Amino acid sequence: MNWQLLPQFAITGFLNGGPIALIALGIVLIFKSSEIFNFSQGQMLLIGTLSTWWFWAEEGLGLPLWAAIILGLTVSAILGLLIERLTLRPMTGQPLLSIILMTLALSQFLQGMAILTFGTTQRNFPAIFEVTSPYKISLPFFTYNNNPMMLILKQNLVWSFGVAMLCVILLWAFFQYTRTGLSMRATAEDHETAQSVGIRINHIFGISWALAGIIGTVGGILIATASGLDLSLPIVVLAAFPAVLLGGLESIPGAVIGSLLIGLTQGLVALPNNDFILGAEAAQVIRSSSEIIPYIILLIVLVIRPDGLFGQKRIERI
């Protein structure tokens, strides 16, 4: 039995949800503005993160890290704009399903591009935060063998979470307090009315894709700096997709909370020897299939609440 590890794994999982939230938010942004579910989010952030690495690395441009990050984010913004302009705008008026399948095709195309331009080797992504001394926190109410219980959290983990939440707050402030943010919220509600007040909705779609590229890449960089960078990075969307659906597809707070919940469950599933509930064998099975757990939770939530946890109800008034 490992009860004493429960808080440790729960909190680690929860904090891991931070970068996932950024990726989920990218998906939500695009969905809110144009009702397109972007299956290529993972590959967009792969290219953004690989570019960041290339701008920094010896074999690339060898720039200082901060400059590499700025350039990497710029690349992902331009990539987002290009995708919208070149592949999606020509499809305006086509059935939504074709457009969504187009994003699926794009994900394959971008993955191929990444292989061709960067190769398949594992890259050393630079450390952004202190790697050595982890934070040790003694928990106030939990004790183990009469000693206060200790949480050991990597600095990386804590700061990544902090950066992710900062991005969430910045994004929220952008929507709430800027004219472009207002245009985006208006467009998200009703394209026709948005056009009738003079909003150029095509520009808004472009901005959504650029923003989605940027915040996705911030998430990608945070993950890469913790666990290295290779072409499997896009797999992280397998955690972001259920987070988005859990949060209700259109809700920004929903996507964030959904991501943290998914992180939390992944942390709990990873808890060693959690056989006190299920017996050793079952626990082993669950651990080795931890990617599936978020989807099982998603399934249960959607059966109970089809709009997700925070799905926006259409306001019905006559």
Contact between 94 and another protein (CB under 8 A)?
Answer: no
- Residue closer to another protein by CB (options 19, 248) is 248
Cα–Cα separations (whole angstroms), residue 218 to 47, 69, 214? 12, 9, 6
* Token output for 114: 């990444």
Contact between 231 and another protein (CB under 8 A)?
Answer: no
Give φ, ψ of 4 to 5 degrees: -65, -20
- Residue closer to another protein by CB (options 107, 183) is 183
Q: Name the minimum Å distance from CB 133 to another protein.
A: 46
Contact between 273 and another protein (CB under 8 A)?
Answer: no
- Residue closer to another protein by CB (options 130, 189) is 189
Contact between 227 and another protein (CB under 8 A)?
Answer: no
Q: CA-to-CA distance for 17 and 137, rounded, in angstroms?
A: 20
Contact 114, 43 (CB under 8 A): yes
What ranges make up the beta strands (E) of the chain? 135-144, 147-153
Contact between 89 and another protein (CB under 8 A)?
Answer: no
Contact between 253 and another protein (CB under 8 A)?
Answer: no
- Residue closer to another protein by CB (options 136, 314) is 314
Which DSSP state fits 133? S
Q: Name the minimum Å distance from CB 164 to another protein.
A: 25
Of 162-201, binders to another protein (CB under 8 A) are 179, 182-183, 185-186, 189-201
Contact between 306 and another protein (CB under 8 A)?
Answer: no
Binding mask 101-120 vs another protein (x if CB under 8 A, - otherwise)?
--------------------
Contact between 303 and another protein (CB under 8 A)?
Answer: no
Give φ, ψ of 229 to 5 degrees: -130, 120
- Residue closer to another protein by CB (options 180, 284) is 180
Q: Name the minimum Å distance from CB 204 to another protein.
A: 10
| Part in contact with another protein (CB under 8 A); list of ranges 54-62, 146-154, 255-263, 310-318 | 310-318
- Residue closer to another protein by CB (options 136, 179) is 179
Neighbours of 287 (CB within 10 A): 15
- Residue closer to another protein by CB (options 146, 196) is 196
**How big is the chain, counted in residues?**
318
Q: Between helices 41-56 and 201-227, what is the axis angle to 10°?
A: 60
Helix (H, G, I), strand (E, B) or coil at 150: strand
Q: Name the minimum Å distance from CB 183 to another protein.
A: 6
Q: CA-to-CA distance for 116 and 93, rounded, in angstroms?
A: 33
Q: Name the minimum Å distance from CB 190 to another protein.
A: 6
Which DSSP state fits 291? T
Which DSSP state fits 168? H
Contact between 47 and another protein (CB under 8 A)?
Answer: no
Q: Name the minimum Å distance from CB 167 to another protein.
A: 23
Q: Which of 175, 209, 193, 189 is nearest to 250 (CA)?
A: 189
- Residue closer to another protein by CB (options 141, 177) is 177
Collect all residues with Cβ–Cβ distance below 8 Å to 80 and sequence separation of at least 6: 44, 206, 209, 210, 211, 212, 213, 214
**Which positions touch another protein (CB under 8 A)?**
179, 182-183, 185-186, 189-201, 312, 314-315, 317-318
